[in-house]
Structure 1
Amino acid sequence: MKKVVTQRYTEKTRRYTEVLLIFSVYFCFTSLFSCVDEVQLPIRQVQARLVVDGLITDEPPPYSIKLTLSGAYSSGSGFPEELIINGAVVTITDNNDRTVQLEQDPLLPSYYWVRDPAFRGQVGHRYTLNVVLPDGTVFVSAPELLRAVAPLEQIQAEYRLANGYSGQPDLYNILINTHDPAMLGDYYRWSTYSYVPRWTGTDPRHSTCTLCSCWVPYYSQLTSVLSDALINGNRISRRSVFDSPVYAVGKQYVEVRQYSLSRAAYQYWTLFEEQRSRTGSLFDPQPASIEGNVHLQADTTVLALGYFGASAVSRQRLVIPGDTIQYDRFLNRLNKAFIPSGTCPSTFTEFILAPPASW
């Protein structure tokens, strides 16, 4: 008798548990759709900060300094007026107390220009930027040494096919050769741009459109930098500084500029590149604003963003013939993937209808 009672009790308990489980699932399911409260997360307000971008070189003026405020910016909608600094008084002074005042650009008011041909950067001199904002706040840079730079000896181009058809163009890999001086402590940065032929509408052999063939500029990242810590006194051979895309058959026009850097500038651009190239995984640190060498005059702990630099420049140009690319094979292989509809003026924000002069 005791065994029968126990079995009935166990069966009753089991059924009660099943009913309770079904009710719990039903409650959770209905709660998911009917009892969700909207959570309003606070938006973090970050105070706008001064952003400085520019340098002086040993080449003749003009030199530009860009001044803005930090904030939300979408490249497709134009630069927000509220981030432009109008009416600042901007000067550059060297260690011999020579001073030049910059002129604000009336069409691009975020740019301030040195146009005085008598004020030219000189190797061995130190330069200080001074910015007086419209409200009277003063920012100054640390003195920046304009170091000499080794001559850029040669630039080369090597054609490289894209890996299968990945939607990416073939390219010319731009390589440079130079020789690092024997004294330790040289730092380099390279800047490259190329004028690349582009077609629109259709290829030139099947079109009479005069605005469907042009040259469009493409620019390298500004963060190709190098320290001579491991190569001091040796040659810098076949260093890749740019990939110039191949969208059409024709000549390409390439210019490479080799800049000297101070140690502080090298550290800044290295940090800038490290942040730019992060993969964005959950384990990466959150991006932070990169502070440079400009600070509030009244409080050196209050730093602006960006960097004011001083560099010597060596430059070389190269014309890539493009005559080894077979026209029909190029079109057939890519199936005209890089020929957008329209014309050059309607397709590209920057273009020239004729090859660049004096190359």
Structure 2
Amino acid sequence: MFNQKKSRSRVLLWFTLVSVSLILYSCLDEIELPIESDLNDAIVIEGSLSMGNPSVVSIGITRLFDFSASSLQPVNVREVLLLDEQDNSVALKEAGPGNYRLVIDDKVNFTVAIGKEYRLQVSTFDNRKIISTAEPILATPEPGAVDVSLFKKDRLNDEGQIVQDDYLAFSIEASITSSSDGHEARYFWALEQTFLITDSPDRKIEDGKDCYITQPIDVTSVNILDGNQFSGTDQVSALIYETPVNYYFAQGYYLTVVQHSLSEGAYRYWNQVSQVIDRTGNMFEAPAGRIKSNFVNLDDGQASPNVFGYFYASQSDTTRFYVSPEAAGSPSMYCPWPVNQIPPPNGCPRFPCCECLDEIGSQLEKPDFWDQ
């Protein structure tokens, strides 16, 4: 059984940023490159403003000592401000090392609206002031239908033989034309998954409890689409996620898709990032300056040679899609663990079968959208 639910955007912007952070941290390999002296203090700023109810603005800042994965280190700054067209501003709050975030609800005297433009200003402890160019909030069309297909994928096993694994491919119907201004839409999709696990202390499933686990999905490419690349059609089907079938699908699974509309500049940035990742698997293997940033120096408006990243603004809309165990090929449950698997001393033979609440993103309460 497949079932789809939609809700107007209440999505937390951290989801998009977590996905980006996972790309930055997990897709980078250690490489040796000569580093120009002015890049020794380089920082990477990734941020967005997501209009919703409430709206959320959030950024992540890292210091780039060289072009290796180990050099990307969170860095705190003196101040982060969100500014509107009249230079009204609101300060973001520190949410962790190198992370700043603010929920813009009725208690915050700041307006976020479609058609308005916003900027992000960062003041560092070494007295640099950096500001992004203005980014407009574009209306996001309602997400189209999500679909999934079960298929076989070849791989080589340890003996060098070709075997086939079950995979699921998720796609979304995307409207090419934005309903707000009649222009072709540019999309960015962020993904999240929620699945059910029943733990089994002492291998007794009847003594277990149900945990609902929600986690961002680490995709290996950037999910973007430019409506200008299509003609003669109003909608296209875009592949957004492929995954092997595993125990996540054994007791019920929801895919959450967050759809953002991007400005031309924001799409260009993410397209450049996507091309570098798809070509090399390493975002910074090519010279980072080749990926255009929209951050400039506050005092002279010139691009800073040691600031990378992008700030964009968007309205977001959310759709959720349910995959039943039967639709995924009825994969085996993860718990209880096999009889021949001996528990280690003071440990569990198969995490999180002894205590499913130990899993990141786990909760006992059934999510509001889970109606299966």
Deviations along 1:171-212, whole A, 9 cap, x unmatched? 32111113222733431111112124568999x8x7567489
Helix, strand or coil for the counterpart of 1:229? helix
| Shift of residue 95, structure 1, vs aligned partner | 1.0
Give the TM-score normalised by the residue count of structure 1. 0.70
Helix, strand or coil for the counterpart of 2:46? strand
Give the TM-score normalised by the residue count of structure 2. 0.68
Deviations along 1:44-74, whole A, 9 cap, x unmatched? 4641212111111221233211122113699
2:176 to 169, 173, 180: 180
Give the direction of change, closer, same or farther, for the CA distance of 1:180–1:291 in structure 2 (3 Å limit). closer
Give the direction of change, closer, same or farther, for the CA distance of 1:186–1:238 in structure 2 (3 Å limit). closer
Structure 1 match to 2:17: none
- 2 CA distance for matches of 1:348 and 1:43? 43
- 2 CA distance for matches of 1:48 and 1:271? 23
1:357 aligns with 2:367: yes
1:49 aligns with 2:42: yes
Structure 2 match to 1:191: 190
Give the direction of change, closer, same or farther, for the CA distance of 1:286–1:326 in structure 2 (3 Å limit). closer
Q: Identity rate of aligned residues, in percent?
A: 18
1:102 to 89, 92, 108: 92
Structure 1 match to 2:57: 63
Structure 2 match to 1:310: 313
Structure 2 match to 1:258: 259
Preserved contact between residue 141 and residue 295 of structure 1 (Cα < 8 Å):
yes
Preserved contact between residue 155 and residue 165 of structure 2 (Cα < 8 Å):
no
Q: Determine which structure has greater relative contact order: mean sequence separation of CA pairs < 8 Å that are 6+ residues apart, divided by chain length.
A: 2
Give the direction of change, closer, same or farther, for the CA distance of 1:42–1:72 in structure 2 (3 Å limit). closer
Give the direction of change, closer, same or farther, for the CA distance of 1:224–1:92 in structure 2 (3 Å limit). same
Q: Which stretches in structure 1 are left out of the alignment for 5+ residues? A: 1-40
Question: CA-atom RMSD, angstroms?
Answer: 4.0
Q: Which stretches in structure 2 are left out of the alignment for 5+ residues? A: 1-31, 158-162, 342-347
1:219 to 211, 217, 220: 217
Q: 1:307 corresponds to which letter in structure 2?
A: Y
Structure 2 match to 1:84: 75
| Shift of residue 265, structure 1, vs aligned partner | 0.7
- 2 CA distance for matches of 1:109 and 1:269? 24
Structure 1 match to 2:10: none
- 2 CA distance for matches of 1:233 and 1:97? 42
Deviations along 1:70-105, whole A, 9 cap, x unmatched? 136998x9974xx4224x211111113332111112
Preserved contact between residue 176 and residue 236 of structure 2 (Cα < 8 Å):
no
Matches within 5 A, 1:195-344: 195-196=194-195, 210=208, 215=213, 217-221=215-219, 223-231=222-230, 234-248=233-247, 249-279=250-280, 287-289=286-288, 290-299=291-300, 300-303=302-305, 304-324=307-327, 327=330, 341-344=349-352
Structure ID, larger Rg: 1
Structure 2 match to 1:114: 102
Helix, strand or coil for the counterpart of 1:115? strand
| Shift of residue 165, structure 1, vs aligned partner | 6.5
Give the direction of change, closer, same or farther, for the CA distance of 1:66–1:170 in structure 2 (3 Å limit). same
- 2 CA distance for matches of 1:348 and 1:128? 39
Give the direction of change, closer, same or farther, for the CA distance of 1:305–1:207 in structure 2 (3 Å limit). same
Matches within 5 A, 1:91-170: 91-105=81-95, 108-117=96-105, 118-163=109-154, 170=166
